[in-house]
Every structure is written in structure tokens, then in C-alpha cells.
Amino acid sequence: MYDYLIVGSGLYGATFAYMARQKGKSCLVIEKRGNVGGNIYTEEQEGIQVHCYGAHIFHTSNKEVWEFVNKFADFNGFINMPVANYKGEMYNLPFNMNTFNKMWGVVTPQQAKEKIEEQKKESGITEPKNLEEQAIYLIGKDIYEKLVKGYTEKQWGKKCSELPPFIIKRLPVRYTYDNRYFNDVYQGIPVGGYTQIVEKMLEGCDVKLNTDFFEFIKENKGIAKKIVYTGQIDTYFNYCFGELEYRSLRFETEVLDCENYQGNAVINYNEAEIPYTRIIEHKHFEFGTQPKTIVTREYPMKWSQGEEAYYPVNNERNNSLYSRYAEKAKEEENVIFGGRLGQYKYFDMDKTIEDAMKTARAELDK
Ligand code: FAD
Ligand code: UDP
């Protein structure tokens, strides 16, 4: 019998497993995919680390989390500065003085503020109730229409007027010429990719790949004293209150016989007519000089059972459905629900680690 059966080898499961091993606990990790790492999994091709489940840039302001990940890899100092392509016009992101200058020709922060204030006034919005209103309130109608509307509606498969405002608040708005996408103090990409981080975290654990929890548990009921479950919470309860909504993605990756395809790691495609949201050129995450390059187009997709669930859709309907599942989860005394799918939360990597550490400490110090 193991102390813990950990379902899912993503960052949450791996962090918990590492903390449990540090306390001398035995862990069995089961993973339904053919590899460990969940969505942070990277794989080397043509000498380039390919982010197989979408671009992952590590960023945090939590020193403990930063020191923790640095135990498992060196980080290369990469700073994400994506560029938006709207019908061939290139705009810097996040929304900053470079964006405002390109959009309106304004030069000073005062001029940019006046322009945004004017568009905000025209819209009549005083208390933004949805993403559309929030975006116009923050950056005006022009930027909303060119850089937010098409991208967001593709990404989420819903009208901006039906989405919660918080999603757009993830992006900084700055009145400086600063193109760094994240405000965090510590940022970078692990030299040699993310997979090694998870592999190192899982040292000393037994790991079974290609193993789905629901099949496995039928034959192995008493295999562990406790379960840490990082899969979808609604699936765990057999969708008894109904399906939570997720957004899925399809990645189309190709090796190109050229050294530099787009000149940046991430280029967003913001108009509605282009079906993908972004193209990632993986080598630029690690300042690569290989003769070839690898690019991935990211196509948002409707989720249905059996598809990979990448993003929770945290609108009111889903959040209140989730609280019913979370209430029911409390009755499962020997199961801890964690991670993006287990807690139905839009966690970045640092928040995933932070939360797994907190839960592991509370659990292991009992
Ligand atoms: P996951 O990585 O989803 O791991 C869960 C694991 O459980 C998966 O491996 C899954 O196969 C397995 N599993 C599920 N159900 C079962 C089952 N029934 N049986 C067995 N195994 C099961 N964060 C950042 O900080 N920076 C970024 O730039 C960034 N970019 C992102 C881009 C994309 C496209 C996405 C989708 C996410 C991004 N994130 C980013 C967030 C980051 O991926 C998450 O914070 C992190 O991966 C969450 O880890 P997790 O363990 O909770 O979930
Ligand atoms: N967003 C946008 N235009 C862009 C980039 C992002 O409107 O060019 C919006 C979009 O709604 C997205 C949100 O900002 O869902 C958060 O963006 P982020 O880059 O954090 O998304 P993620 O990396 O999590 O997919």
C-alpha cells in the first residue's frame, strides 16, 4: 500500500509528490498520457525544445517558488514580449506606449491617457460588467476592436459581452514603453526544457503512464491511503451535477527549413478571420541558432468529453456549478482535489506550485 496515489503527473501532482517524498512518504503517480509533465511537457526536436501543449513562460514574484524551480533547472532569462498581428499591422503587447503610438500616433503618456479617456467617455461605461466593457474601459474602443475582440472571441468561443471581465485584467496596461508581457520579478525558460523538472520532482516515486484513473481504481481500490486527484473534478463525480465547461486546443506543429520564420517567440493573430490565435516559434524561447526552425499554430476548440480540457471557463454559471462539486468533494475524506482541473481555476505555473506546496504542507504536517 502506498501513502499517496497521485492522479496526474502535471506540475501540481509532481510538486505534491516531491514534497511527500521529502517527508519519506511513498507515492504512486498515474498518468493517462504517454508522458509526464501535463501541459508543461517539452520535447527536443531538431535540437529545439518544443512546447508540446502551448507556450509556457515561467514567471513569478514568489521567491520561494522561484528558488524551488531553480533546484531542478537553470533558467535562461527569457522575457516574453509577444507581438500582435492585426491584418498585417504589427502591435506590441501588452498594451503600452508602443501600442498606443502605433495605434494613434500619440507620443506621451498624457496624450495616450487623453485618447483612452475620450473613447471611454464616448462609450458611456462606468461600471464594466463583462469583458467587452472592461476592455473598452481600460484601453478604449480602437484597441478593443483590433486587438481584443477577434482574439478573445476565437479563444473562448463566446462573445466578449458574455465573458467575465477578469480575463482581460490578466494583461497589464502600461503608460511606459515597456513590452514585457508579465510584471513579475523572476522570469525565464528552463534550459533543456520543462520535462526534466517534472522528472526530477518525481524521482523516488513509482510512475505508471498511459493509465487512466477510472479504469485503474476499479482493480486497485486499496492501493493507497490517500489520493491526490488532479483530473477534472466533474469527471470524478461522473458529471452528476452536469458538465463544467472547458476550452480545448489543437496544435499544428511543423519543422521549417529556414533559420528564422517570424522573428519572435510568440506572434498573436488578432483578427477573427484567421482561425488560430497565435504562432509560436520555439527556438526563440532559448535564443536558438539551429539551421531549422519549428513553429506551432494554436487553434482554440470546443471541448467535449474525451477532448483535452485546457482552460476552465470561469464565468458565473460554471463557477457556481463548480462550487457544488467542491462542496461534494469535501465528503471525500481521503481525496485531495488539486490543480487547474481539480480546482477548476486558471492557475499559472507559479500559482500551481504555490498551491500544491501549501496543500502538501497542511497535509504532511498533520
Ligand atoms: P495539468 O498540467 O493539466 O496536469 C494534469 C495531468 O493529469 C495531465 O497530465 C493529465 O493527463 C492528467 N490526468 C487528468 N485526468 C486523468 C485521469 N483520469 N487519469 C490519469 N491522469 C489524468 N502558465 C504559466 O505560468 N505560463 C505560461 O506561459 C502558461 N502558458 C499556458 C499555455 C497554455 C496553452 C495552457 C493550457 C496553460 C498555460 N499555463 C501557463 C498554465 C500551466 O499549464 C498550468 O499552470 C499547469 O500546467 C497546471 O498544472 P496541473 O498539474 O494543475 O495540470
Ligand atoms: N488577449 C487579447 N488579445 C491578445 C492577447 C490576449 O484580447 O493579443 C486577451 C484574451 O481574452 C485572453 C486574455 O487576454 O484570453 C489573457 O491572455 P493571456 O495571454 O494571459 O492568455 P493565456 O496565455 O492564458 O492563453
Q: Which atom of ligand 2 is nearest to the CA of 135?
A: 7
Q: DSSP class of residue 39?
A: G
How many angstroms is it from 76 CA to the middle of ligand 1? 22
Q: Tell me the H-state helices in the chain.
A: 11-22, 63-70, 97-104, 109-123, 131-143, 149-156, 195-201, 213-219, 233-236, 316-329, 339-342, 349-364
Give residue 36's pLDDT.
98
247 is catalytic: yes
| Ligand 2 neighbour 267 (Cβ under 6 A) | no
Find the catalytic residue in 21, 33, 174, 340: 174
Give residue 366's pLDDT.
82
Give residue 239's pLDDT.
98
170 is catalytic: yes
Find the catalytic residue in 21, 133, 246, 247: 247
Q: Which atom of ligand 2 is nearest to the CA of 82?
A: 8
| Ligand 2 neighbour 160 (Cβ under 6 A) | no
180 is catalytic: no
Kindly give the interhelix angle for 349-364 and 11-22, rounded to the nearest 10 degrees.
Answer: 30
278 is catalytic: yes
How many angstroms is it from 360 CA to the middle of ligand 2? 31
How many angstroms is it from 38 CA to the middle of ligand 1? 5
Give residue 50's pLDDT.
98
How many angstroms is it from 259 CA to the middle of ligand 1? 30
Enumerate residues lining ligand 1, CB below 6 A. 7-13, 30-33, 38-40, 54-57, 212-214, 230-231, 249, 310, 339-341, 347-350, 352
Per-residue pLDDT reduced to its tens digit, 101-131: 999 999 999 999 999 999 999 999 999 999 9
Give residue 77's pLDDT.
97
Protein residue closest via CA to atom 31 of ligand 1: 56
Give residue 323's pLDDT.
98
pLDDT lower than 70: segments of the chain: none
CA angle 80, 86, 92 (to 5 degrees): 30
Give residue 281's pLDDT.
98
Find the catalytic residue in 132, 348, 354, 355: 348
Q: Cell numbers 511513498 label which residue?
A: 26
Task: Round to whole Å and give the CA distance between 93 and 73.
Answer: 28
* Cβ count near 228 (within 10 Å): 27
Per-residue pLDDT reduced to its tens digit, 142-168: 999 999 999 999 999 999 999 999 999
| Ligand 2 neighbour 147 (Cβ under 6 A) | yes
* Straight-line distance from the first to the last Cα atom of the chain, in angstroms, rounded to the nearest whole number: 20
Per-residue pLDDT reduced to its tens digit, 212-228: 999 999 999 999 999 99
Protein residue closest via CA to atom 32 of ligand 1: 54
The whole model's pTM is what? 0.97
Give residue 170's pLDDT.
86
365 is catalytic: no
Kindly give the interhelix angle for 109-123 and 97-104, rounded to the nearest 10 degrees.
Answer: 70
Of the candidates 301, 277, 306, the residue with the CA atom closest to the CA atom of residue 157: 301
